[in-house]
Structure 1
Amino acid sequence: MKTTSLFLFFSFFISLSFAQKNTKDVDKSTPMVIGLIQKVPSAVLGEERKISIYLPEDYNQNDTTRYPVIYILDGGMNEDFIHIAGIVRFNTQPWINRFPRSIVVGIENTNRKRDFSFAVPNLDFVEKMGFNKKSYSTAGGSSKYISFLEKELLPYISRTYKTTAQKTVIGESFAGLLATEILLKHRDLFSTYIIITPSLWWGNESLLAEAPKLLKSGNNSNVQVYVGACDKAEELTMYNDAATLAEALKQDGVNFKQVHFDYMPNEIHSTAMHQAVYNAFKLLYPKTEYQK
């Protein structure tokens, strides 16, 4: 009993010492900062929008270096900003050097169904897809959101940070629907489109029906597109729509820099985003420049 008591005493003492040491270590710690959060007022949307920004580690406002910008439509801190910023940082490290160091801008959502969908005559098709029409009562505001991007956010980023003309947009699901609409109707806004499992079922696939005609206009020579699709067993309609979009881009698009269709049978709708973005960078920028 005495031996046990001594053991417990020394165990408590050692634990207390470690706890005190760890407390001191915490006191010496500094925050791990991965980016900035800013609030941008939007007259177009009539609300303030929160954006998250990752700057390359050697970013210096006073030097002459300028950077491409990668925009994430589902870009809040609790959405896709952190893991995509991590992919960008990984791919732009000197020992990988897949593409230039880049600024990442994540746009946090306030009402994604409203912002990412175009106006439609009625919502009957929503129930055919197994959804409740009431949950889409505010949908149809993509024209305002695109105007927000074109007239407010993109110019703000260009004024505030040292950017090049190269801009990428990343969108998945409903954000993929918006990215597709921008690609087809406002192509000059971005030079690279990463579109993942897009919700092209919206509006009875009317955007897909318009695609061949829309693709015949505009200059595509500096535009590159990645379209990713998850397991067709889970999302057959979305797989078919993504494949149809990619085929239209290849058949009806004129002089696209490159178009890639990526089928990921091992990913479901909820897991496709991370793998697709990694795959997209690898396909769009295949050369890794080894540096000693």
Structure 2
Amino acid sequence: MKPYFLIALLWCAFCAPLTLHAQTSVFRQQQLHSAILDESRTINIYLPDTYSDDDTTHYPVVYLPDGGLSEDFLHVAGLMRFDAQSWVNRFPKAILIGIENTNRQRDFTYAVADLDFLKKVGFSKERIPQYGGSGKYISFIQQELMPYIADHYRVSGRRIYIGESLAGLLGTELLLYHRELFDTYFIFSPSLWWGNEKLLQDAAGLLAHKGKKQVNVFIAAPAKDEMPLMYEDAKALYDLLQKDKETRSWFEYLPDETHATVMHEALYRAFRKLSVADTITAH
């Protein structure tokens, strides 16, 4: 069988159920207007195969900022669906909330005084015309999206975050400043170089507060030689978290992956490692 034909069959095998059950038991897509962002957002929702509107079971919720159908939604939903099968049992049956992007550079970056630091990492200022909107985006998630999902779906108290690259930067900001929003953070190849690595500089002080909510954090980094600073920053974040008693943290180095490919393999390994640690359960 030719490889491209096999790929087509696999694509149809996954997408057909999504089409068949659209707006019912597996996949739903909704428009949510945000007063905070002053725009409407497309929200893609994957529901476990056991989800039923007349059932009483409540499910953990996974939030995926790069959650468009042309972004990370489909392959994350596929991994969740596979790993939730009883004979695999690496991840609980959970609801996936994919937030489709309109301007991820603006939404996933915190405010900075200037962009002079971009030269150090080889980016031009023209590549990032809008930035500094993470405060509004986090408020949208906390004040609008999460309450909407809780009102319309049967959710448990368990929430999980998945973010790569700039979404990994956002995940780190959430972890350090809004820790209570999620129980588990998957942070892959985070762009911690943003703002001259200010989040890393502030991390030790922010983690020093006692009585914090206990969370799980899984960090992954691709090949060092592609962009050494990104590996060093990811490892530095992990080293800081290892010193924090209220944080259970893991680090995975993936030398065969690039920044562009790290997401899928990192998430696969994260599900496997955390299932062994038994840290994610359907409460």
Aligned residue for 2:276, secondary structure, equals coil
1:152: which partner in 2? 144
User: Could you tell me which amino acid in structure 2 is paired with residue 137 of structure 1?
Assistant: P
C-alpha distance in 2 between matches for 1:280 and 1:218: 27
Secondary structure at the residue paired with 1:268? Answer: coil
Whole-Å separation in 1 of the counterparts to 2:270 and 2:20: 28
TM-score (norm 2): 0.88
Offset of residue 189 of structure 1: 0.5
Match in the other structure for 1:202: 194
The one-letter code matched in structure 2 to 1:266 is D
What's the offset of the Cα at 1:61? 1.7
State the Cα distance separating 1:219 from its structure 2 match. 4.1
Change (3 A) 1:267 1:219: farther
Inter-partner Cα distance in structure 1 for 2:227 and 2:193? 11
Which amino acid is the alignment partner of residue 270 of structure 1? Answer: A
Structure-2 change in CA distance of 1:285 and 1:221 (3 Å): farther
Quote the Cα distance in structure 1 between the aligned partners of 2:180 and 2:211. Answer: 8
Whether contact under 8 Å (2:179, 2:213) holds in the other structure is no
TM-score by length of 1: 0.85
1:92 pairs with one of 66, 84, 87? 84
Q: Which residue number corresponds to residue 131 of structure 2?
A: 139
Q: Are 2:253 and 1:263 aligned?
A: yes
Aligned partner of residue 147 in structure 2, secondary structure = helix
Does structure 1 residue 254 correspond to structure 2 residue 245? yes
> Cα offset for 1:181?
0.2
SS of aligned partner of 1:139:
coil
Contact kept, 8 Å, 1:220 with 1:254, in 2: the verdict is no
The residue type equivalent to 2:166 in the other structure is F
Give 5+ residue unaligned stretches, structure 1.
Answer: 1-28
Correspondences of 1:70-219 after superposition (within 5 Å)? 70-217=62-209, 219=211
1:226 aligned to 207, 218, 222, which one?
218
1:5 matched residue in structure 2: none
Deviation, 1:222, is 3.2
C-alpha contact 2:59 2:95 (8 A) present in aligned 1: yes
Partner of 2:11: none
Q: Distance in 1 between matches of 2:115 and 2:91?
A: 42
Query: What is the DSSP-based 3-state SS (H/G/I as helix, E as strand, rest coil) of the residue aligned with 2:219?
Result: strand
- Give the C-alpha shift of residue 127 in structure 1: 2.0
Instruction: Please tell me whether residue 278 in structure 1 is matched to residue 268 in structure 2.
Output: yes
Deviations 1:9-39 (A, max 9, x none): xxxxxxxxxxxxxxxxxxxx99444511111
Give the C-alpha shift of residue 117 in structure 1: 0.2
Paired with 1:128 and 1:246, the residues of 2 have a C-alpha distance of 23
8 Å CA contact 2:219–2:252 kept in 1: the answer is: yes
* Stretch deviating more after TM superposition (278-287 or 188-197): 278-287
Cα 1:115–1:93, aligned 2, differ >3 Å: closer, same or farther?
A: same
RMSD: 1.5
Letter paired with 1:230: P
Deviations 1:143-202 (A, max 9, x none): 000000110001111111000010001000000000000000000000000000000000
> What's the counterpart of residue 10 of structure 1?
none
> Aligned residues: percent identity?
49
Q: Residues 240, 98 of structure 1: CA spacing in aligned structure 2 closer, same or farther, 3 A cutoff?
A: same
- When Rg is computed on C-alpha atoms for both structures, the one with the higher figure is 1
Q: 1:218 to 1:134 in 2, by over 3 A?
A: farther
Whether contact under 8 Å (1:215, 1:254) holds in the other structure is: no
C-alpha distance in 1, partners of 2:64/2:38?
A: 21
Structure 2 CA distance for aligned equivalents of residues 234 and 137 of structure 1: 25
Structure 2 gaps of 5+ residues are 1-15, 279-283
Q: Cα distance, 1:220 vs. partner?
A: 4.3
Query: Retained in 2: the 8 A contact 1:98–1:287?
Result: no
Q: How many residues align?
A: 258
**Deviations 1:55-105, CA, capped at 9 Å, x for gaps:** 011101212100000111101000000000000000101111223210001
> 2:131 is paired with a residue of what secondary structure?
coil
